[in-house]
Structure 1
Amino acid sequence: MKTTLFFKSLASTFIIALLVTFTLTAQENYSEFSGKVVDGKTNKTLEAVSLNVNETNVSTITNSEGEFVLKVLNEYLDSKVVVSFLGYNTRVIPLSELSKENNKIELFKAVTELSEVNISAFKDAESLVRKVFDKKSKNHQDESVYMTAFYRETIKRRNRSVSLTEAVVNILKYPNRSSVRDAISLNKARKSTDYKRLDTVSVKLQGGPFSAIFLDIMKYPEYIFTDATINSYNYSFDSPSNVNNRNVYVVNFSPKNNALNYSYNGKLFIDVESLALVSADYALDLSNKSRSKNLLVKKKPSNVIVYPLEANYKVNYKEKEGKWYYSYSNLFLKFKVNKKREIFNKVYSLSSEMAVTDWEINSTDRKIKSKDKLRPSVIITDAISGFSDPDFWGKYNLIEPDKSIESAIEKIKKNIEKQKEKEERTANGNP
């Protein structure tokens, strides 16, 4: 499995440095809209809601608190924004009706009814899942696509952030039928790690943006469903749902036995009309504690034992002109670290998410140079200077930070300011 954790003592931790070229682009005129998306009946904020500028590939997604920031080039200000979320009716709102900030967008749950004819078209839920993979070349991306995406990776000890990485990346996604792995290059990034709070254990996610892109199970089915493993699961129909005003089958799956090294429990959301995968939401089966011990660990000190507590994954796709494209994925890992001769266990959580914010068909055969390509084993570089610049991301769309992340960023900014003041005093002969 490509989503792998590194555990190392600080004494032996080494930094993998990436040479990053920050390309300064010409300032483009754009407008910014912010607000939150809520359930229109309960007023509960909605996470991972997609906001897409109509007739473009520009989009963003809400954070865990339902908040969003959408940056739109001024030439598109006469357009509308399509607000969609699984299980809810889609809303289409003219940008001219949105204020610059404090927008509150209400979505209402969709009522979905599928006739017995729809469901009885398949012998059972497993035959439907097999059909999804049989039709993937027809339904999902079948050409080279060049994408811009926002990536965020956070590590927490208990509830306190100890590491934060953010990056804008370029992705060259090859067709799903191709055996060529997708290529990723770093456009712009910033990171800060509080090694003191990490204490005696350094926690790192190997793969960075690749940890998110490998969740695209239409491109990389080998990480969950293969011809050999697809019959190792039980499948059943759940209540149908709705996305973008389209009916969606919901299929539950769970392992039949413990024969697989890695097995999952989850749900598949399948478009009724095309039988394309719309979304997948699943978790690693950790019910066997003795078997899952150290399961997600690539390297660790000999006196440390790691018990995974949660391992959750999600991937979403968007439809355009009859084809479905990778649009968003996230993973959340929670684990307990036991160290010999220490009374208290330490609990860490690691989350990463990536949202495609713009893309285009790669009609010009655009390439990512070998020297710029990230490796699947990469650990994203430290580049903290951007945290002192409120306009660091410029025109790029991003996932609005959660309150806990905002707090961490504020602390980083203050530390940078203190360091600058100290350097200035030293330069002036006032240590």
Structure 2
Amino acid sequence: MDENCRRIQKKTLTAALTLICLIAFGTKTSLAFQNQETETKFKQYKGEVIDASSKKPLVFATLSLEGTNISTITNTEGNFILKIPSELTDGTVVVSFLGYKSKNILLSQLKPNKNKISLVISVTELSEVDINAPKDAAALVKETLARKGDNYFDDPTLMTAFYRETIKKRRRNVSLSEAVVNIYKTPYSSVRKDAVELYKARKSTDYSKLDTIALKLQGGPFNTLYVDIMKYPDYIFADGSIADYKFTFSRSTRINDQLIYVINFKQWESIKEPLYTGELFIDVEKRTLTSAIYTLNITDKHRAARLFVRKKPAKVDVWPTEVAYRVDYREKGGKWYYGYSNVLLEFKVDWEDKLFNSVYSMTAEMAVTDWERNLQGNAPKSRERLKKSIILSDEAVGFSDPDFWGEYNIIEPEKSIESAIKKIQRQLRRAKAKGGAAAP
């Protein structure tokens, strides 16, 4: 490994996660694939969501069918695919993005392809902006990071979270995993790492669609947990590396009646390593990071591949084409905490002896469903903790626990993670009543 790659690995979130393991399989074993599409016919709508002014794509914009739990998000190019059951012919699709005015579109107005949806920035009048806010965007970011001990949870916390992991070949689901995990989160001011315990997990994989290649997402829930910038700032803004970025004020807006500064950041042109570009949403009054959306700047596909690909067959080239992250924080009692994160990756797999390459995408998202203070500092024993090298699909036991999953016996990847959480809340409450650790 060359010195440049070592320097990259010390700085980037991707290296900290070691996300991808690529393994050749000599068998064509096919497992039963639980996919909602096998039971319900869908209509499909494709398009892109862009900024109305700049025409730039909006990454992780949300499209949801009003009154249902059907939703999707855009990728790093602003593209989306929204699947609607064929029997639903009427309805309103709500398109939303942080800091932008939402747009309502009648389902009947959407075309099967080439829908272009533009959103307008929700701008706050300058008279409302706190005149005491730093005029230097980099200074505001540094101050926000420095105040994590004041503004974020300062007690050990036990969280329950729902995790979903999806692997697609082009647009077809080939592997789905879901889990309920316990997160033993240490105070934001502490340098101790969080611990994760697996409570329930299941998977559904169709290896026949993988062309004898299985992509395995290494890290499992840690992939999404380490996107918590306020807890793990070094994975994106390592010591000294904050100077590798140019920070600029983008706009001011109001989200949930809070005045938010949107800070753009990107690496300086003189920096050749693949770092990040994105937006930080900072509460002006409290100096808190409320959300962040950012992507890996893939300046060199070979360097980027070394960050992700842990193992691969000799005659196959694999490299990332898209890498995006999102984290959202929630507020309770004047303190903020990690609430939701999403990781999206797209890879090309190029066989030496094949004319066409394959495109795979991986999405991992996790949402906190409940939490309580862990004042006793309880933590799982070493053998009960998930390792950072976990491959969730290897740990999951499929659908062998119907008592827990109950009627929710099909993984529904096209529905929102909030929908999945609602469906298992009853089981989580029941587990709590029985003394289970999964529902604090």
Question: TM-score under structure 1 normalisation?
Answer: 0.69
Tell whether 2:356 aligns with 1:344: yes
Q: Judging changes above 3 Å, is the alpha-carbon distance between structure 1 residues 182 and 293 closer, same or farther for their aligned structure 2 residues?
A: closer
Note the C-alpha offset of 1:12: 10
Note the C-alpha offset of 1:257: 3.4
The alignment yields a C-alpha RMSD, in angstroms, of 3.4
Note the C-alpha offset of 1:10: 1.1
Equivalent position amino acid for 2:280 in 1: L
Tell whether 2:343 aligns with 1:355: no
Q: Choose which of 180, 183, 205 in structure 2 pairs with 1:193.
A: 205
Q: In 2, Cα distance between the equivalents of 1:344 and 1:121?
A: 53
Please list the CA deviations of residues 36-66 of structure 1 after superposition, one character each: whole Å capped at 9, or x if unmatched: xxxxxxxxx97399xxxxxxxxxxx985279
How many residues align structurally?
A: 327
Note the C-alpha offset of 1:148: 0.2
* Correspondence for 2:223: 211
Q: Choose which of 377, 387, 391 in structure 2 pairs with 1:375.
A: 387
* Correspondence for 1:305: 317
Note the C-alpha offset of 1:244: 1.9
* Correspondence for 2:72: 64
Q: Judge conservation of contact 1:2–1:207 (CA < 8 Å) in 2.
A: no
Tell whether 2:14 aligns with 1:6: no
Q: In 2, Cα distance between the equivalents of 1:6 and 1:241?
A: 41
Note the C-alpha offset of 1:89: 9.4
Q: In 1, Cα distance between the equivalents of 2:327 and 2:181?
A: 18
* Correspondence for 1:105: none
| Displacement over 4 Å in runs of 4+ | 108-111
Q: Judging changes above 3 Å, is the alpha-carbon distance between structure 1 residues 48 and 352 closer, same or farther for their aligned structure 2 residues?
A: farther
Q: Judge conservation of contact 1:254–1:266 (CA < 8 Å) in 2.
A: yes
Q: In 1, Cα distance between the equivalents of 2:199 and 2:218?
A: 19
Tell whether 2:242 aligns with 1:242: no
Q: Choose which of 113, 121, 124 in structure 2 pairs with 1:112.
A: 124
The alignment partner of 2:62 has SS state of: coil
Q: Judging changes above 3 Å, is the alpha-carbon distance between structure 1 residues 178 and 162 closer, same or farther for their aligned structure 2 residues?
A: same
With 109-118 and 321-330 compared, the bigger mean Cα shift is at 109-118
Note the C-alpha offset of 1:386: 4.9
Q: Judge conservation of contact 1:86–1:242 (CA < 8 Å) in 2.
A: no
Q: Choose which of 323, 332, 346 in structure 2 pairs with 1:320.
A: 332
The alignment partner of 1:133 has SS state of: helix
Q: Judge conservation of contact 1:149–1:171 (CA < 8 Å) in 2.
A: yes
Tell whether 2:158 aligns with 1:143: no
Note the C-alpha offset of 1:400: 6.9
The alignment partner of 1:300 has SS state of: coil
The alignment partner of 1:315 has SS state of: strand
Q: Judging changes above 3 Å, is the alpha-carbon distance between structure 1 residues 305 and 118 closer, same or farther for their aligned structure 2 residues?
A: same
Note the C-alpha offset of 1:178: 1.4
Tell whether 2:179 aligns with 1:167: yes
Note the C-alpha offset of 1:365: 2.7
Structure 2 residues not aligned, in runs of 5+: 1-14, 29-59, 74-81, 84-95, 103-119, 418-440
Structure 1 residues not aligned, in runs of 5+: 14-44, 50-60, 68-83, 91-107, 406-431
Which is greater in Rg?
Answer: 1
Please list the CA deviations of residues 341-400 of structure 1 after superposition, one character each: whole Å capped at 9, or x if unmatched: 11110000000000000001112332222221100000112322259x5x744699xx97
Q: Judging changes above 3 Å, is the alpha-carbon distance between structure 1 residues 63 and 243 closer, same or farther for their aligned structure 2 residues?
A: same
Q: Judge conservation of contact 1:294–1:308 (CA < 8 Å) in 2.
A: no
Equivalent position amino acid for 1:211 in 2: N
Task: Summarize the alignment of residues 217-228 of structure 1 with structure 2, pairs less than 5 Å apart.
Answer: 217-228=229-240
Q: In 2, Cα distance between the equivalents of 1:243 and 1:117?
A: 14
Q: Judge conservation of contact 2:72–2:416 (CA < 8 Å) in 1.
A: no
Q: Choose which of 272, 275, 279 in structure 2 pairs with 1:263.
A: 275
Question: TM-score under structure 2 normalisation?
Answer: 0.67
Q: In 2, Cα distance between the equivalents of 1:140 and 1:9?
A: 44
% identical equivalent positions: 48
Q: Judging changes above 3 Å, is the alpha-carbon distance between structure 1 residues 272 and 114 closer, same or farther for their aligned structure 2 residues?
A: farther
The alignment partner of 1:343 has SS state of: coil
Q: Judge conservation of contact 1:2–1:211 (CA < 8 Å) in 2.
A: no
